[in-house]
Chains A and B, each alone.
Chain A
Amino acid sequence: MTDRNALELNDLSVAYRVGRRNRAVLRNVSFKIGRGEAYGLVGESGCGKSTAALAVVRYLPRNGSITGGSIALDGQDVMKLDAEALRRARAESVSMVYQDPGKALNPSLRIGRQLTEIFELAGMSGQAASDKAIAMLNLVRISDPASVMQRYPHQLSGGMQQRVAIAMALANDPSMLILDEPTTGLDATVEAEVLDLIAQLRRELSASILFISHNLAVVSNMCDRVGVLYAGMLVEEGSTKDVFNDPRHPYTVALLRCLPRGGQRKDQGRLDTIPGFLPGIGATIVGCAFADRCALATERCRSEPPPLYELGGGRLSRCHYHDKAQSLPRATPAEIAAVAPKQAPPVLQVEGLNKTYASHGRALRAVKDVSVSLRPGETLGLVGESGSGKTTFARLLLGLVPPDEGGSIELEGKQLAPRLASRSEEQVKAVQIVFQNPDSALNRSHSIRHILSRALKRLGGLTGKSLETRLEELVRSVRLTDRHLAVKPRQLSGGLKQRVAIARAFAGDPRIVVCDEPTSALDVSVQAAILNLLADLQSKQDVSYIFISHDLGVVRYLSDKIAVLYLGRIMEFGPSEAVFSGPHHPYTEALLSAVPKLDRTESSRIRLDGEIPSAANPPTGCVFHTRCPRKIGAICETQEPELSEAEPGHTIRCHIPFAELARLQKPRAVEPA
């Protein structure tokens, strides 16, 4: 083996041609990935991460071109390869895994066909190729490869699909593996499995990895070294540990501060944000690209572009004041007015709520016997993997789908009709929602003014002058300005669109707002601003939230109570702190353990085997027994445990007694020998 680098980018610049102008997307990016090394590329959307990956294999879109610099794969200049050599390089030495495995696999071919094809192309015959395909599926820890080979992609879960995609990427034994957001869009438990798999494969194979992610925690767990991209420029580089623990560029410092960390909660202070916006694609940058958003910026930053300063120990920072980066003042003050806990009667009381769908002649119980209560100004966090019934529960509350007979939903002591159409105007405006995807939630044909005025008219019952006055207030309360009113949703960034959606939900002074993954489509800095906004609105208006998110850090920040759902059943319900700090239900324990942590302080790792069972055919006894790492025996398979009170207000659905759970889940170090 030689000591050539697996990948070397030198001063790489890439531009996209938009409207007859070349717009720079990558600006003189240089980095090296050594053999067997995992290099992470992080940054917010629009900073050029994916473009860098595409440029490596020269897969840029048609309007993209490499305007300068060079790329060397294994010492071979990719720019100089002719079509045939490029094809060979793609086939033999580089592989890519994309974000959406559903799109990377051909929906009309069986998995077996797609996998063996790769080996047949490499010249293997039928049987040998199919043996090799099975070996690959074994490599990615698929337990029943023969049956998976016979299936079509849509018959596999997202996690399985991504494993197959990884198997395909590894099939040619690449020297360079490019992973572009490989776990974004997967459940935390599945994400943990896929990340474990990638980590294991790294030890078994020699491949070098370029790992692209917006999720800092994921990168910190997976990579040896990390590069931070901002506006198409590498602004900081170094070993993962150094960069995340001791960042030397204000952008990295600010990014890390946007994340709710270490169990931070809304009553302990606001999250920090990054003011302003990423420079537009192809914008002319004088001085430091981050200067406009940086509180440390001086005249020098605005006029003199900083070079990549070498800080020793393989660390680089593109900041004139890298030694002071960590003294970056907060953009958002942390302090908040203390809210005294109230003992008001519950605003929402749900008793024995059920929802059964008919699915191919079988009953699918999407929500089973759910009871929760919520006081004014409180947030109920709903947690669970996809398919656990979180969204169905929210839709039942909203009246978008009617629940089964029998259960009851009470709003401020009054029964809510099952169907939206039979609810009173008062009740309709009292329960509103902020959807996950603002592109779908805001009508793209209407102006922001139309969207908000209509909501004020219908929900607030306002017209004329009073509507105008209230509109102004509403717009200001979500920190938008008059200028935003005239535009259509597409002219706003994701974060601004979500503010409009929040404003719309608040138009009729709601009592309860359902937030269905409101920040999952947003970058961390924008997410922080939205979470702050939600917390501020809550403390001002005493509104209650039902907060659905797969990001437990986010749920923990905003929630006062947590309900953990599995197959439509509440497995655990209680005050946020009690649920998070434990002792908790084994399922909650597994969910928490799956969350990638920035500080790599994992004590024990609990991984769930297999997939969430179908709600149309749930396991007997405790529905979680098929995956439970703490299963105690036959009782789990035959008898469904009751939701029993562990501590006052904290209930757990498990056969293991609370004291025993407490003993089992005690951190090892504290356990007496």
Chain B
Amino acid sequence: MSATDTPANLPTPDAATQRSPWGEVLHSLLRSGTFLTGLGIVLFWIVCALFGEHFVPYDPLADDIINALAPPSAEHWFGTDQIGRDVFSRVIVGSRDILTVAPLATILATIAGTALGLVIGYFRGIVDDIVSRILEAFMAIPVVIIALLAIVALGTSKITVIVVIGLSFAPIIARTVRSAVLAERELDYVAAAKLRHEGALHTMFVEILPNVIPPILVETTVRLGYAIFAVATLSFMGFGIQPPSPDWGLSISSNYGMIGGGFWWTVLFDALAISSLVIGVNLVADGVHGAFND
């Protein structure tokens, strides 16, 4: 056998260079203080949502009119609200609804936005021109207005909130995906797919999609932060999650009239809870962004 016929050798694997791209991202995530802090906060609220009701001192829904509007004390750490419900218990359990509605809305936005972004980025031309203008027009309307219109028309329910927030965030994700696809479609592997007579669906979803996952993932985590905020806003306005849920936005809305009377504890702890969750998600988003762009 001549030397020409000997197969080329695989270079000796090297631990540092052989890690898969996803392994590398995970590795840098686990070394990122930002990400770990954010993850800690988010996990805390997830645990509260899942198991909170088993360890809170009081039933978050049980009223106790005699003890209404009691200030924070050893008995009621965060005080009680106007019908005597324990604020601490309500804050801990209050993450349950927002942590189902906001992520579901974000997932909906990601799926719809990714599909839309792939199509307009891949076909470009007239499709892109028309769809992009529509998306821009859509993005110009504030989420709250769209939500109000939809809820008036469809009635209040968690599903409505999910659909409304999901659809109003979809154009933003579509725009991010579109720009990633525009860069990707110029690469030669896309031409190679054309030279195999691959269909557009295969090229978009099998060839291009796996390569644009990183920006989608970053955009999704950023959107989750906004979604939490949007859900809380809608609840506050009375158009989202309905009583008697101990939801934070809802609690603030039903208690903020009390601040004037000096009963700050009925609002402050819910507000802090919302902020901490949004900050936590944003820290995670920062960490993910950093890990993909190092």
Binding site for B on A (CB under 8 A): 18-19, 21, 270, 273, 275-277, 280-281, 283, 330-333, 398, 400, 420-421, 425, 428, 431-433, 435, 437, 440-446, 454-455, 458-459, 476, 479-481, 483-484, 487-488, 490-493, 495-496, 499, 504, 529, 532, 536
Would you give the 0/1 interface string for B9-42, flagging 1 where the beta carbon is closer than 8 Å to chain A? 1111011111011000000000000000000000
Most buried by B among A283, A440, A529: A440
Chain A residues with CB under 8 Å of B3's CB are: 273, 275, 330-333
Q: Which of A19, A425, A480, A487 contacts B15 (CB 8 A)?
A: A19
B7 at the interface (CB under 8 A from A): yes
**A275-B3, A455-B196, A480-B8 given; 14 more Cβ-contact pairs under 8 Å:** A18-B16, A19-B15, A19-B16, A277-B11, A280-B11, A280-B17, A330-B3, A333-B3, A433-B192, A435-B192, A441-B188, A458-B197, A479-B4, A479-B5
B59 at the interface (CB under 8 A from A): no
Given contacts A440-B188, A496-B8, contact A458 B211 (CB under 8 A): no
B123 at the interface (CB under 8 A from A): no
Chain A residues with CB under 8 Å of B195's CB are: 398, 400, 420, 428, 431-433
Would you give 27 A-B contacts (Cβ < 8 Å), ordered by A? Answer: A18-B16, A275-B3, A276-B9, A281-B14, A332-B2, A333-B3, A400-B191, A400-B195, A420-B197, A433-B192, A440-B187, A441-B192, A442-B189, A445-B211, A446-B210, A454-B196, A458-B196, A458-B198, A479-B5, A480-B7, A480-B8, A481-B7, A483-B10, A487-B10, A488-B20, A490-B21, A493-B11
B8 touches A476 (CB 8 A): no
Cβ-closest chain A residue relative to B19:
A19
Cβ-closest chain B residue relative to A400:
B191
Taken together as a complex, chains A and B put the C-alpha atoms of A435 and B188 apart, in Å, by 7
Taken together as a complex, chains A and B put the C-alpha atoms of A421 and B197 apart, in Å, by 7
Taken together as a complex, chains A and B put the C-alpha atoms of A276 and B3 apart, in Å, by 12
Taken together as a complex, chains A and B put the C-alpha atoms of A91 and B23 apart, in Å, by 42
A479 touches B7 (CB 8 A): yes
**Count, chain B residues at interface, CB 8 A:** 31
Binding site for A on B (CB under 8 A): 2-12, 14-18, 20-21, 187-189, 191-192, 194-198, 207, 210-211
Q: Which of B4, B188, B207 contacts A532 (CB 8 A)?
A: B4
Closest 6 CB pairs of A and B: A445-B210, A19-B16, A441-B188, A458-B196, A435-B188, A443-B189
Q: How far is the CB of A483 from chain B (nearest CB, A)?
A: 6
Chain A residues with CB under 8 Å of B197's CB are: 420-421, 425, 428, 458
Q: How far is the CB of A223 from chain B (nearest CB, A)?
A: 31
Chain A residues with CB under 8 Å of B210's CB are: 443, 445-446
Given contacts A277-B9, A493-B11, contact A437 B4 (CB under 8 A): no
Chain B residues with CB under 8 Å of A532's CB are: 4
Q: How far is the CB of B49 from chain A (nearest CB, A)?
A: 34
B6 touches A479 (CB 8 A): yes
Taken together as a complex, chains A and B put the C-alpha atoms of A454 and B187 apart, in Å, by 18
Q: How far is the CB of A438 from chain B (nearest CB, A)?
A: 9
A270 touches B4 (CB 8 A): yes
Taken together as a complex, chains A and B put the C-alpha atoms of A440 and B211 apart, in Å, by 12
Given contacts A277-B9, A332-B4, A495-B8, contact A444 B211 (CB under 8 A): yes
Given contacts A332-B4, A333-B4, A479-B5, contact A437 B188 (CB under 8 A): yes
B194 touches A420 (CB 8 A): yes
Chain A residues with CB under 8 Å of B9's CB are: 276-277
A280 touches B14 (CB 8 A): yes
Chain A residues with CB under 8 Å of B2's CB are: 332-333
Taken together as a complex, chains A and B put the C-alpha atoms of A536 and B188 apart, in Å, by 25
Cβ-closest chain B residue relative to A429:
B196
